[in-house]
């Protein structure tokens, strides 16, 4: 029997699960997740959710800050939709059980304290309440460890996805048909050798969209975060939140000297891209450290209990030790272009969250805007789709015409080896500093990888599209920094 649902959501992070909860009020929802449900970037978000709540702040100020950080490359209508949607988004989170702290935090680029946390691991708390609500909801079925390998495209519309269990050796795909399909596959940090991103964030959604005939937009704008722990574990680097620098953390070079003021007068509080470049350049000479030893240790532990605790696994004390840091690939500002309802250029296909290019982030993302973007755009999309419900039936004869492809699988070690190869090429040639020569080199190396397995192909396609986008933008803008120094 054919598998079919009203809404097929690919991805169970904040974007996918928020959409699922809203859409479950009108129809049946199936949510696929490539790994276990907590394996998502949402789980790792530390800073919080930006939003204007209360009278001391204003929507106009949040809009202005977002546009400024996006260096004139944002879509103002999308920014406005996100900012104005914040109060309802917070009400939604509270309605499903999230407890939000009473005072907001300040983060770089914001002119007001407007980043709201539930703890210093807000993402984990948010994902926790979303998952609980979705698991309780009879109209939502979450299928873990089940991945989309290809979108079903027939007669210029998306009819669902071809899927397979992620852990199996099966080379046969199964079609999952849906009236509306929503890509919510998250980011692309795992295309880089060093990243803060979850293991599943390898740009799958970008490749699925490209294979379905769509273009990508703004994918050259990959945001790098300056302060991740330099010691990788389980394929990612632990993030050391920006709010630590907001609280006075210093960044020191190998001689234990502050050096950021040589790069920007705002020093430790300069925007992420500037601090990332500075740390990247300094680390060519020796290790770089984050230092909180001058701050009251009780205060540090009280404000950042989870980061404090996470560091103990590395035998490090956040308040007493120099913490070795490195910049990492962190966030995709661009992606699959969508309109204000999150509709892509392909009928019946929507995109939400980090995989989507809504125009909110422009050439650089204002800290803590991404969780808000997912919450607001998911609600707007669900309201839009609810109005179509009933009038969007699938045509049975279309489904009969669909032919299921077979796939070629390599061993998991091969997939890992190729992913590591792509990660190195992207880090070295398409990373924090780029040049025409380095990008041409990366293009050549990526295109000659013999990718037969779709899991490698997905990474290859996403990486290739990023390189092409970088090459098309010869001048530096936002996170995209072209440098002659690396030629
Ligand atoms: C360390 C860290 C800290 C951050 N801190 C903040 C913060 O403080 N504030 C803020 O606003 N933002 C923050 N961000 C960014 C923010 O967390 C992400 O942009 C956001 O969570 C993305 O949500 P998402 O739902 O789009 O993707 P994710 O949460 O990454 O979920 C993606 C889902 O897609 C699934 N998936 C992927 N490919 C497939 C496939 N082929 N088939 C099936 N399923 C698939 C994955 O399994 C996963 O379930 C942070 C990010 C990181 C990594």
Could you give the C-alpha distances from 274 to 37, 193, 263, 264, 333, in angstroms and in order?
A: 34, 20, 8, 8, 16
Cα-to-centroid distance, 171 and ligand 1 (Å): 27
Please report whether residue 268 resides in a domain: yes
pLDDT at 1: 65
Our measurement of the distance from residue 453's CA atom to the centroid of its chain's CA atoms, rounded to an integer in Å, reads 24
Is residue 351 within 8 A of residue 209, CB to CB? The reply is: yes
Q: Is 272 a catalytic residue?
A: yes
Q: Which domain holds residue 432?
A: 412-472
We report the CATH number of the domain holding residue 446 as 1.20.58.100
Residue 280, pLDDT above cutoff 90: yes
Cα-to-centroid distance, 258 and ligand 1 (Å): 33
Please report whether residue 481 resides in a domain: no
Higher pLDDT, 303 or 139: 139
Backbone phi, psi, residue 377, to 5°: -65, -35
CB of 201 within 6 A of ligand 1: the answer is yes
- State which of 379, 401, 423 marks the end of a domain: 401
314 and 378 share a domain? no
Please report whether residue 449 resides in a domain: yes
We report the CATH number of the domain holding residue 364 as 3.50.50.60
- Active-site residue among 272, 357, 365, 459? 272
Q: Which pTM value belongs to this model? A: 0.96
36 and 158 share a domain? yes
The C-alpha atoms of residue 330 and residue 365 are separated, in whole angstroms, by 11
151 and 230 share a domain? no
Share of residues in the chain with pLDDT > 70 (%) = 99
350-359 confidence digits (pLDDT tens): 999 999 999 9
- Can you tell me the mean pLDDT for 314-321? 96
Please report whether residue 480 resides in a domain: no
Please report whether residue 487 resides in a domain: no
Residue 108, pLDDT above cutoff 90: no
25 and 137 share a domain? yes
End-to-end alpha carbon distance in the chain: 58
Cα-to-centroid distance, 377 and ligand 1 (Å): 15
Cα-to-centroid distance, 13 and ligand 1 (Å): 6
We report the CATH number of the domain holding residue 265 as 3.90.700.10
Closest ligand 1 atom to Cα of 332: 19
pLDDT at 485: 67
Closest ligand 1 atom to Cα of 195: 53
208 and 248 share a domain? no
CB of 148 within 6 A of ligand 1: the answer is yes
190 and 57 share a domain? yes
Please report whether residue 465 resides in a domain: yes
Higher pLDDT, 186 or 270: 186
CB of 12 within 6 A of ligand 1: the answer is yes
447-464 confidence digits (pLDDT tens): 999 889 999 999 999 999
pLDDT at 105: 86
The C-alpha atoms of residue 61 and residue 86 are separated, in whole angstroms, by 13
Residue among 14, 35, 45, 459 to mutate when testing ligand 1 (max atoms within 8 A of CB): 45
- Can you tell me the mean pLDDT for 124-141? 98
Provide the pairing of β-strand 3-10 with 29-32: parallel
Cα-to-centroid distance, 41 and ligand 1 (Å): 3
27-40 confidence digits (pLDDT tens): 999 999 999 999 99
Taking CA atoms only, the protein residue closest to ligand 1 atom 31 is: 13
176 and 145 share a domain? yes
The C-alpha atoms of residue 252 and residue 107 are separated, in whole angstroms, by 20
pLDDT at 247: 87
Residue among 168, 191, 200 to mutate when testing ligand 1 (max atoms within 8 A of CB): 200
Please report whether residue 483 resides in a domain: no
207-237 confidence digits (pLDDT tens): 999 999 999 999 999 999 999 999 999 999 9
264 and 134 share a domain? no
Higher pLDDT, 121 or 164: 164
- State which of 268, 295, 329 marks the end of a domain: 329
pLDDT at 486: 65
- State which of 329, 352, 374 marks the end of a domain: 329
- Can you tell me the mean pLDDT for 76-88? 98
Residue among 38, 186, 245 to mutate when testing ligand 1 (max atoms within 8 A of CB): 186
Residue among 9, 10, 40, 376 to mutate when testing ligand 1 (max atoms within 8 A of CB): 40
186 and 38 share a domain? yes
Please report whether residue 484 resides in a domain: no
Cα-to-centroid distance, 39 and ligand 1 (Å): 9
Structure tokens at 150: 């290809």
Residue 269 — very low, low, confident or very high, per pLDDT cuts 50/70/90? confident
465 and 451 share a domain? yes
CB of 190 within 6 A of ligand 1: the answer is no
CB of 220 within 6 A of ligand 1: the answer is no
Q: How many domains does the chain have?
A: 3
335-380 confidence digits (pLDDT tens): 999 999 999 999 999 999 999 999 999 999 999 999 999 999 999 9
311 and 197 share a domain? no
CB of 358 within 6 A of ligand 1: the answer is no
Cα-to-centroid distance, 344 and ligand 1 (Å): 19
Mean pLDDT of the chain: 95
203 and 191 share a domain? yes
39-75 confidence digits (pLDDT tens): 999 999 988 999 999 888 999 999 999 999 999 999 9
CB of 223 within 6 A of ligand 1: the answer is no
């Amino acid at each position: 029997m054919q598998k079919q649902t009203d809404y097929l959501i690919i991805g169970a992070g904040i974007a996918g699960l928020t959409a699922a909860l809203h859409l479950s009020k009108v129809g049946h929802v199936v949510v696929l997740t490539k790994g276990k449900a907590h394996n998502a970037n949402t789980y790792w978000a530390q800073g919080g959710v930006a939003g204007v709540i209360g009278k001391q702040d204003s929507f106009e100020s949040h809009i202005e800050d977002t546009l400024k950080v996006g260096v004139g490359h944002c879509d103002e209508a999308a920014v406005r939709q996100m900012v104005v949607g914040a109060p309802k988004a917070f009400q939604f989170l509270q309605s499903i059980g999230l407890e939000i702290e009473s005072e907001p935090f300040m983060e770089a680029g914001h002119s007001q304290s407007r980043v709201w946390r539930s703890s210093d691991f807000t993402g984990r708390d948010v994902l926790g309440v979303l998952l609980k609500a979705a698991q309780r909801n009879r109209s939502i079925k979450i299928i873990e460890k089940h991945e989309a390998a290809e979108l079903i495209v027939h007669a210029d519309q998306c009819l669902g996805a071809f899927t397979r269990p992620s852990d199996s050796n099966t080379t046969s795909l199964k079609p999952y048909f849906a009236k509306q399909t929503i890509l919510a596959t998250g980011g692309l940090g795992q295309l880089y050798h060093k990243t803060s991103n979850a293991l599943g964030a390898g740009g799958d959604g970008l490749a699925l969209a490209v294979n379905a005939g769509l273009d990508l937009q703004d994918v050259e704008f990959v945001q790098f975060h300056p302060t991740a722990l330099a010691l990788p574990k389980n394929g990612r680097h632990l993030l050391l939140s920006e709010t630590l620098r907001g609280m006075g953390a210093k960044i020191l070079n190998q001689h234990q000297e502050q050096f950021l003021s040589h790069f920007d007068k705002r020093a430790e509080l300069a925007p992420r891209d500037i601090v990332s470049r500075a740390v990247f350049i300094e680390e060519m000479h020796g290790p770089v450290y984050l230092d909180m030893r001058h701050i009251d240790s009780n205060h540090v532990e009280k404000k950042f209990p989870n980061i404090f605790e996470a560091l103990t696994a590395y035998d490090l004390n956040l308040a007493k030790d120099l913490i070795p840091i490195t910049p990492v690939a962190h966030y995709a500002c661009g992606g699959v272009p969508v309109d204000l309802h999150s509709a892509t250029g392909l009928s019946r296909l929507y995109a939400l969250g980090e995989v989507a290019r809504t125009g909110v982030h422009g050439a650089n993302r204002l800290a803590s805007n991404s969780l808000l973007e997912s919450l607001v755009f998911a609600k707007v999309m669900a309201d839009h789709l609810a109005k179509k419900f009933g009038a969007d039936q699938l045509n049975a004869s279309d489904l009969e015409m669909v032919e299921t492809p077979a796939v070629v699988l390599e061993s998991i070690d091969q997939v890992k080896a190729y992913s590591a190869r792509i990660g190195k090429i992207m880090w070295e040639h398409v990373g924090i500093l780029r040049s025409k020569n380095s990008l041409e080199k990366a293009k050549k190396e990526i295109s000659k990888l013999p990718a037969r397995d779709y899991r490698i192909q997905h990474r290859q396609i996403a990486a290739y599209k990023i390189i092409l986008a970088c090459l098309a933008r010869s001048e530096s803008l936002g996170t995209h920094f072209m440098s002659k120094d690396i030629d």
